[in-house]
A and B are shown apart, each in its own frame.
Chain A
Amino acid sequence: MAAIVFWLSFGIAAYVYAGYPLVLLAWKRLAARPVCKAPIEPTVTLVIAMHNESRNVAVKMQNCFELNYPADKLQIIVSLDAPTDGTDSLVREYAPQGVDVLSTTIRRGKASAINRAVAFARGEIIVFADARQRFHPNAVRELVANFADECVGAVSGQLVLLDSEGREASNTLGMYWRYEKKIRGLESDIHSVPGTTGAIYALRRELFAPIRPRTVLDDVQIPMRAVLKGKRVLFDPAAIAYDEVAKEANVEYEKKRRTLMGNYELLVEMPELLLPWRNPIFLQLFSHKVGRLLVPYCLIALFVSNLFLLHGYYLLIFVCQVTWYLLAFTGWLLATRRMQDMAAPTTSFQGVEKDL
């Protein structure tokens, strides 16, 4: 029994992180579906939902004005979700330059802000953006070019994580993100990506239907509806947005927890996604999204079942597992120490003094 649990857990975890990318690679070689990109210029509405973003408003708006897209075909809507830090007045300064500002006095969440904005949108294509990330000047043009293909319902851009020196991040989080983007690229080449990047994605306006207020992952629910309507959701690495990588994994942990919480919500809200005859990318969704939710429980089962199998090569695997978790624990201790150092400037100063 322990051996069955052991190998089943091992199999699922190995499939999700290694087997699935290999399946995608083979699938792409056999049945890639190219997209007919063309330099079209439909009307576009750029939707930016904001809560308390006073620090980012000036840079973001400047970034929007620098986009390489005809101004008469680009509507910019900033949908404010009851900000309390002066974001409201800062954004209103851009109203004379053609920015539409929607504002509420009661906080209802990002999903509600998006619903309000799309109701006012005039563009044939809606581009969704966050306040913090900057777009490459050609980002909108690149996103929109994919809609020349009638099969395309939504397109995700590429989020590039930069380190403090402005280079693409090379730390573990940067590596993890690059691995994630490779998988998205393969999924896109075959059919569709099960979800987009919230900081940069576009959708045909007619495919939008208001999402439930307090939805956590609008960037997954909105495109998955397009997939259920028979359209493709692409990942286009040429449409780029930039963000700073988190220096500490703990920060990324908070984001990841929110994302994974949203995945549970997605499966409850859209159970049809788990029906292979309804969802054309069932395998991708199951392997990419559901698999990531299952892996931690598989790892626990792997460890516990290994305790009952301490002989032969199982013993070696057990030693590897214990070593892995000890290293993880040491990494956690070091990260906690770094955070304490950052939180206590006097300690850091003493350190500098000692170095001098």
Chain B
Amino acid sequence: MRTFQKLLQVPYTFSLMNWAAITGLFYYLNRNQEFWDLAAPASRRKTATPQLRRL
């Protein structure tokens, strides 16, 4: 039974990894919106300059 389950893992893992490439593109395209936000003028952004602290 364990061997059968291990064998099932091969097509499952291979398909999952390929599916990851398709969803990866989807996530990349959606994330681009955040890139644009980062490129926006500082006045339109909610982030501020980080404070560096060295110990």
Contact of B24 among A108, A120, A260 (CB under 8 A): A260
Interface string of A96-126 (1 = CB under 8 A from B): 0000111111101000100010001000000
Chain A residue contacts of B13, Cβ below 8 A: 172-173, 176, 249, 252, 331
CA distance A214 to B28 in the complex (A): 12
Chain A residue contacts of B11, Cβ below 8 A: 324-325, 327-328, 331
Pairwise interchain contact B12-A101, C-beta atoms closer than 8 A:
no
Chain B residue contacts of A105, Cβ below 8 A: 50-51
Pairwise interchain contact A257-B24, C-beta atoms closer than 8 A:
yes
Look across to chain A and name the residue whose beta carbon is closest to the beta carbon of B53: A103
Verify if A265 is at the interface (C-beta below 8 Å from B): yes
Interface string of A163-200 (1 = CB under 8 A from B): 00000000111001000000000000000000000000
Which of B6, B24, B25 lies at the interface centre, i.e. has the most chain A CB atoms within 10 A of its CB? Answer: B24
Contact of B54 among A100, A257, A334 (CB under 8 A): A100
Count residues of chain B with CB under 8 A from any CB of chain A: 35
CA distance A331 to B19 in the complex (A): 14
CA distance A292 to B16 in the complex (A): 13
Pairwise interchain contact A102-B31, C-beta atoms closer than 8 A:
no
User: Measured between C-beta atoms, what is the minimum distance from A251 to chain B in Å?
Assistant: 11
CA distance A85 to B28 in the complex (A): 28
Pairwise interchain contact A257-B48, C-beta atoms closer than 8 A:
no
Tell whether A249 pairs with B16 under 8 Å between CB atoms, given A105-B51, A171-B9, A327-B8: yes
Pairwise interchain contact A334-B5, C-beta atoms closer than 8 A:
yes
Verify if B22 is at the interface (C-beta below 8 Å from A): yes
Q: Which of A39-47, A144-152, A293-301 contacts B (4 or more CB under 8 A)?
A: A293-301
Contact residues, B4-32 vs A (CB, 8 A): 5-25, 27-28, 31
Verify if B55 is at the interface (C-beta below 8 Å from A): yes
Tell whether A214 pairs with B34 under 8 Å between CB atoms, given A324-B11, A330-B8: yes
Interface range on chain A: under 10, 10 to 19, 20 to 34, or 35 or more?
35 or more
CA distance A292 to B47 in the complex (A): 36
Pairwise interchain contact B9-A249, C-beta atoms closer than 8 A:
yes
Pairwise interchain contact B19-A296, C-beta atoms closer than 8 A:
yes
Pairwise interchain contact A296-B28, C-beta atoms closer than 8 A:
no
Pairwise interchain contact B53-A261, C-beta atoms closer than 8 A:
no
Pairwise interchain contact B50-A264, C-beta atoms closer than 8 A:
no
CA distance A309 to B13 in the complex (A): 27
CA distance A257 to B34 in the complex (A): 18
Look across to chain B and name the residue whose beta carbon is closest to the beta carbon of A263: B24
Look across to chain B and name the residue whose beta carbon is closest to the beta carbon of A267: B28
User: Measured between C-beta atoms, what is the minimum distance from B39 to chain A in Å?
Assistant: 10
Chain A residue contacts of B38, Cβ below 8 A: 213-214
The 5 A-B pairs with the shortest beta carbon distances in the complex, nearest first, are: A331-B12, A260-B24, A104-B50, A296-B18, A331-B8
Task: Beyond the given A101-B55, A173-B13, A331-B8, please list 18 additional residue pairs across the A-B interface where CB-CB is below 8 A.
Answer: A100-B55, A101-B54, A102-B53, A171-B6, A171-B9, A214-B35, A252-B16, A253-B20, A257-B23, A260-B20, A260-B25, A295-B21, A296-B18, A328-B8, A330-B12, A331-B9, A331-B12, A332-B12
B contact residues vs A (CB 8 Å cutoff): 5-25, 27-28, 31, 34-35, 38, 47-48, 50-55
20 pairs of residues in contact across A and B, judged by CB atoms under 8 Å = A92-B55, A100-B55, A172-B13, A213-B38, A250-B16, A253-B16, A256-B20, A256-B24, A257-B20, A257-B23, A261-B25, A293-B24, A297-B22, A327-B11, A327-B12, A328-B14, A330-B8, A332-B15, A332-B16, A335-B12
A contact residues vs B (CB 8 Å cutoff): 82, 92, 95, 100-106, 108, 112, 116, 120, 171-173, 176, 213-214, 249-250, 252-253, 256-261, 263-265, 292-293, 295-297, 299, 324-325, 327-328, 330-332, 334-335
